Amino acid sequence: MEKTLIILKPDAVQRGLIGEITSRFEKKGLQIVGMKLMTIPASIAEQHYAPHKGKPFYEGLVRFMTCSPVVVLALAGKDAIVIARKMMGATFGSKAEPGTIRGDYGVSNAYNLIHGSDSPEAATKELGLFFKADELQTWKPTI
Ligand code: CMP
């Protein structure tokens, strides 16, 4: 079972979209195996976005991601990484297709609501940055 790291960014939390967005993943059949509300420390945001260091938007991105709480989700399922990214839509709200999370809930490019790991390597690194091992659950439906 593949796992991916999703961040509902400060704009998603401030706009009251935690339930709407999380519900889409649940209905799709991706299993929530980790979930918490947190304010990201600058050092974690810098590590998370290290591949973008030096780009013109990097400092603003780190400021944005640390400005107020986010929700971090660990989702599990077959092909969870690709499925979650399809559901998120294109990076920029202005370009994202209707029917996707970014396409349905925003037009902003910088405030694009959600992050999802883009590869198995990134997912392993990002899950490790945001969750301790004992914060991830392994569970099966029983009722
Ligand atoms: P995310 O999926 O979190 O991964 C990298 C982030 O960088 C991306 O979403 C956007 O929030 C941000 N980003 C990428 N390109 C730009 C850009 N040109 N201007 C502003 N932010 C950007």
pLDDT tens track, the chain, 143 positions = 899 999 999 999 999 999 999 999 999 999 999 999 999 999 999 999 999 999 999 999 999 999 999 999 999 999 999 999 999 999 999 999 999 999 999 999 999 999 999 999 999 999 999 999 999 999 999 99
Judge whether 140 lies within some domain: no
Residue 81 domain-assigned (yes or no):
yes
Q: Is residue 39 part of a domain?
A: yes
- Residues of the domain holding 63: 2-131
Question: What CATH number did the domain enclosing 94 receive?
Answer: 3.30.70.141
What's the predicted TM-score (pTM) here?
0.97
Q: Is residue 73 part of a domain?
A: yes
Distance from C-alpha of 102 to C-alpha of 22, rounded to nearest angstrom? 13
In a domain, residue 141? The reply is: no
Q: Which residues does ligand 1 sit against, CB inside 6 Å?
A: 52, 57, 61, 91, 109-110, 112, 115
Gap between the Cα atoms of 73 and 7, Å rounded: 6
Asked whether residue 100 is assigned to any structural domain, the reply reads yes
Closest listed residue to residue 3, CA positions, set 89, 114, 123: 123
Distance (angstroms) between ligand 1 centre and the Cα of 131 equals: 22
What's the structural domain count of the chain?
Answer: 1
| CA of 118, closest atom in ligand 1 | 2
CA 58 to ligand 1 centroid distance, Å: 8
Instruction: Say what the ipTM of the complex is.
Output: 0.93
Residue 136: inside a domain: no
| In a domain? residue 143 | no
CB contact at 8 A, 73 and 35: yes
For residue 52, how far is its CA from the centre of ligand 1 (angstroms)? Answer: 9
User: Which pair of structure tokens corresponds to residue 55?
Assistant: 């780009």
Of 68, 11, 3, whose CA–CA distance to 30 is shortest?
3
